[in-house]
Structure 1
Amino acid sequence: MPRSNLTAADVVQAAVALADDVGFDAVSLSAVARALDVRAPSLYSHVRDLAALRDGISESALRDLGERISLATAGLSGAAALRGLADAHRSFAAASPGRWQSLQRRVGASVAGSDAARTVVALNRAVLRGYALPEEEHVHAIRLVGSVINGFINLESVGSFDHSGPEPDRSWARALEALDSLLRSWPAAADENTER
């Protein structure tokens, strides 16, 4: 029997479940409508379009990821906090592959400006406070940390490490050790007025 009491939250939750079950790219309005046993046009009273639906998945992902990072880094600093941050990302990607995929794209302005996004940024900055980095270098460090974490997880998720040893966990640990070492010895900022 078709649902008459559908809410926007129900629609996003169905999209989240679908993303983690069959992949983020497979999420469509028609697929979500089928999962909810409604007609696709009825979803438009709850979500503007597919982009808005996918942004809902991304915001859900950021909320969950923020909770995981917070728990994994509470009371820690330096290398331990960095490991907690990275492990939170990796465990989230393993548990919620569709939602993790939803964060590997340009999100809409509403997601980028959401409380969930601000929380994740604040948690990243909190981890960096365990290192002697000048404030003006934080954006570069955050980009580097994100590149290492997301790059490794992406390669692992597509099976790039399946055909050679050692196991990925050992490479993960080494990558985080190297990242910690780099953050502890961060190079001085170059003078932007100096000619190269």
Structure 2
Amino acid sequence: MARAGLTAERLTRAAAELADEIGFENVTVSALARGFGVKDASLYSHIKNAQDLKERVALLALTELADQVAAALVGRSGKDALVAFANAYREYAKRHPGRYAATQIEIAPETAAARATGRHVEMTHAILRGYDVPESDHRHAVRLLHSAFHGYVSLETTGGNHRAPGLDASWLRIMDALDMALRNWPSPREPA
């Protein structure tokens, strides 16, 4: 019999909060069950397994992040859109480190989480169209932006930049460099 008050949504939100507190990699069905004062088995009426729980947290995080990015992008284009996207991404990762880590897990293409990832890609494509990056190069430019955003956020959230003064100044310089790279996107290369 399912425990009263437990739902998949409530478990997902609790797991996301737990991820922000103790790290996404430390979220387990057992840890979540302890938080609710129930046995592990009580949760399996609402989630399939630990992987299902992690994918649910990833979906929640991807949706929250996409909503924040979308709100930041309203009415913006060019560099303003690029910076708004990047700032929303960075702020989310800093405010929700465990949830952000969930956005980085490998997700099966047929899941709802994969569809949420698609929202991020579409918003990035919209930014790139404002820079006249050829459609055939969008995948490369998306990878450039994700690498820059994720790389910087990862260094910042793990303390990799702890010795460097002026983290915000560095971030702004990176935005300037990305803007310049997108404005001066090279012509497509012939395959080797």
Tell me, yes or no, whether TM beats 0.5.
yes
- Which amino acid in 2 is paired with 1:41? A
**CA–CA separation in structure 2 for the residues paired with 1:14 and 1:173:** 34
Q: C-alpha displacement at 1:107, in angstroms?
A: 2.3
Normalising by structure 2, we get a TM-score of 0.94
- Which amino acid in 2 is paired with 1:138? H
Q: C-alpha displacement at 1:111, in angstroms?
A: 4.2
Aligned to 2:8: 8
1:140-179 to 2 correspondences below 5 Å = 140-165=140-165, 167-179=166-178
Residues 38-68 of structure 1, C-alpha deviations (whole Å, 9 max, x = no match): 2101111111111110011110011110111
Percent identity (aligned)? 37
Q: C-alpha displacement at 1:71, in angstroms?
A: 1.2
Residues 108-148 of structure 1, C-alpha deviations (whole Å, 9 max, x = no match): 3314533x222222211111111011111111100100000
* Structure 2: unaligned runs, 5 residues or longer: none
Equivalent residue of 1:113, what SS?
Answer: helix
- Which amino acid in 1 is paired with 2:176? E
Aligned to 1:30: 30
**CA–CA separation in structure 2 for the residues paired with 1:164 and 1:126:** 33
Q: C-alpha displacement at 1:12, in angstroms?
A: 0.8
The 8 Å contact of residues 18 and 27 in structure 2, kept in 1 or not, is answered as yes
Query: Alpha carbon RMSD of aligned pairs, Å?
Result: 1.4
1:118-137 to 2 correspondences below 5 Å = 118-137=118-137
**CA–CA separation in structure 2 for the residues paired with 1:161 and 1:20:** 20
The 8 Å contact of residues 55 and 108 in structure 1, kept in 2 or not, is answered as no
Aligned to 1:190: 189
Q: C-alpha displacement at 1:3, in angstroms?
A: 4.2
**CA–CA separation in structure 2 for the residues paired with 1:113 and 1:161:** 31
**CA–CA separation in structure 1 for the residues paired with 2:132 and 2:190:** 19
**CA–CA separation in structure 2 for the residues paired with 1:18 and 1:179:** 34
Instruction: Report how many residues are paired.
Output: 190
**CA–CA separation in structure 1 for the residues paired with 2:187 and 2:113:** 30
The 8 Å contact of residues 19 and 26 in structure 1, kept in 2 or not, is answered as yes
Equivalent residue of 2:130, what SS?
Answer: coil
* Structure 1: unaligned runs, 5 residues or longer: none
Normalising by structure 1, we get a TM-score of 0.92
**CA–CA separation in structure 2 for the residues paired with 1:79 and 1:64:** 23
- Which amino acid in 1 is paired with 2:114? G
- Ranges of 4+ aligned residues in structure 1 off by more than 3 Å: none
